[in-house]
Structure 1
Amino acid sequence: MSSLAEKPTLNWKEFVCGWGAAFINVTVTYPINKIIFRQMLHGIKAKKAFYQLHGEGIFFLYRGILPPLCQKTLSLSIMFGVYEQVRQPLVETGVNRYMAKALGALISGTTEAALMPFERVQTLLQNAHYHDEFKNTFHAFKALRSYGLVEYYRGLVPILLRNGPSNIGFFIAREELQNCMPKYDNEFIRTSTEFMCGALIGVVLSSIFYPLNVLKVAMQNKIGGEFENPVKVFVQIYRDRGCKVRYFYHGVQMNCARAFISWGVMNTAYEHIKAVIY
């Protein structure tokens, strides 16, 4: 009975840890993320994307941050909270711990897709083509409403293909790395270890799933009309970029840099918040 009573408290703590870690992460890495977005959208190099943002001025630099701030804080909260809520009961009933982790991660990643409208609006706000069409986040949300609820979920397939598998990779790799790394009493060394653990996982996973993000951006860059087949869009991008797979990876270097910082900050913030709450 006592273990059952403790579960809601445990889940609440995990939700809070994920929320706090995401808030810190998004505010630190948003400018880098915006450069990567421009590279994904236009297939340009980081230098040109940087000059685009520089030419638009500081006023537009953090334009579009509210959707990812809302989406990422809720998303990571769900990611850690739902994962633990699913994993723990499965382990207690005798399910193989790796299977329990995989199911918990898959369900948490699929649940995160419910927050897709934030990602959808962020895509539009980061595109210079829509600077004059949408004043802010709330205006963009309102404008999309006239196209129906489904418009908020344009590009759902690549997000589902990304979320679940990447969550599985994160949770399994994270625990394995933590188990392999030596334990340190020194706060600085322990924090550095936590950062590197998250950073390395982030670089690997974000690189593997990078083409799905390119596909998502291409699909979400449009408003109205029929929903496109993801396979056809993928083939069209391939043709438009010279029929070379490596052109799908325009921006991957900046993406790796962002992932290194982002996942490192997120994992470190999560562990520190967890230590305070628990």
Structure 2
Amino acid sequence: MVSTDQDRESLQSQKHYLCGSVAAFANIVITFPIHKALFRQQLFGVQTREAVRQLQRDGLRTLYRGILPPLLQKSSTIAIMFGLYEDFSRMLRLHAPQAPVLLTDSIAAVLAGTAEAVLTPFERVQTLLQDPRQHGNFQNTEHIFRVLLQQHGIRELYRGLVPILLRNGPSNVFFFGLRGPMKELLPEAETKAGHLVNDFVCGAILGAGLGVVFYPLNVVKSHAQVQIGGEFQSCRVILANILRERDGKSQQVLA
């Protein structure tokens, strides 16, 4: 009986990893052009229309340039996010059964977000591949990895780690903390398709909302990661530089 329960838990855990990975893969393939336009806004402080115009000028040939790193990174990080969250939650409830569920789930979310940051090098490479100023300097993902490692060492691959950590932990806490209550507000699903639709709606709303909340951190991260070599600047210094470049207008950071 114990063995059967353990097998069931193991299969359930594997399901979370697999579903997270497949969902992330589909998400990136479909929304990559949107994320690329968003990156142009973060990097250059332009409006959405201008970012789209830039992509049109670059042409279809470069539209999906840089998709491999986010495919690898997101497929892995979302799998880690869902899988490790469930594993950490179960482990914490097992070893601290008296602790409030909100506390154990929040700790599990932060731990899962921290573990995701191991894959920062993929975000780093993605940023350089999407930067139009680097189109002539790097051929592909493997080329960037080789150049950064040979010329600057492994530490260079983790440039931008701090804003990623500041983003991942809190955003996971909000995502997993609000997912249940939000799903309860939706019409009760009676079929698998209904549950799938509810999960999609919750994920879309939370993803969009958290994307707005943590957008400034993503701007800081993008500006940190387009730099190659040199001093590792703090988030505060990078943000101050961005504001100075954009005439000190904080709303320009959210452009």
- TM-score, length-normalised on structure 1? 0.86
Q: 1:98 aligns with which of 98, 102, 127?
A: 102
1:79-94 to structure 2, matched below 5 A, reads 79-92=81-94, 93-94=96-97
Partner of 2:64: 62
**Counterpart residue identity of residue 178, structure 1:** K
Extract structure 1 runs of 4+ deviating beyond 4 A: 186-191
**Counterpart residue identity of residue 69, structure 1:** L
Q: Secondary structure at 1:63's aligned position in 2?
A: coil
Partner of 1:193: 198
User: How far off is 1:224 after superposition?
Assistant: 0.7
> Does 1:203 find its partner at 2:205?
no
Q: Secondary structure at 1:144's aligned position in 2?
A: helix
1:1-278 to structure 2, matched below 5 A, reads 1-2=2-3, 3-92=5-94, 93-94=96-97, 95-146=99-150, 147-185=152-190, 190-250=195-255
C-alpha distance in structure 2 between counterparts of 1:140 and 1:19, whole Å: 24
User: How far off is 1:193 after superposition?
Assistant: 3.0
**Counterpart residue identity of residue 178, structure 2:** A
C-alpha distance in structure 2 between counterparts of 1:49 and 1:181, whole Å: 35
- Give the aligned length: 250
Partner of 1:263: none
Worse-superposed segment, 62-71 or 236-245? 236-245
**Counterpart residue identity of residue 88, structure 1:** R
C-alpha distance in structure 1 between counterparts of 2:200 and 2:143, whole Å: 37
Q: Secondary structure at 2:116's aligned position in 1?
A: helix
Partner of 1:267: none
Deviations 1:39-95 (A, max 9, x none): 110011111111111111111000000000000000001001100000012223412
Deviations 1:137-185 (A, max 9, x none): 1111111112100000001110000000000100011111123323133
C-alpha distance in structure 1 between counterparts of 2:209 and 2:111, whole Å: 21
C-alpha distance in structure 1 between counterparts of 2:83 and 2:189, whole Å: 27
C-alpha distance in structure 2 between counterparts of 1:47 and 1:181, whole Å: 34
C-alpha distance in structure 2 between counterparts of 1:247 and 1:26, whole Å: 26
**CA 1:222/1:63 → structure 2, altered by over 3 Å: closer, same or farther?**
same
C-alpha distance in structure 2 between counterparts of 1:159 and 1:180, whole Å: 31
Q: Secondary structure at 2:231's aligned position in 1?
A: coil
- TM-score, length-normalised on structure 2? 0.93
**Counterpart residue identity of residue 218, structure 1:** H
User: How far off is 1:33 after superposition?
Assistant: 0.3
C-alpha distance in structure 2 between counterparts of 1:5 and 1:163, whole Å: 30
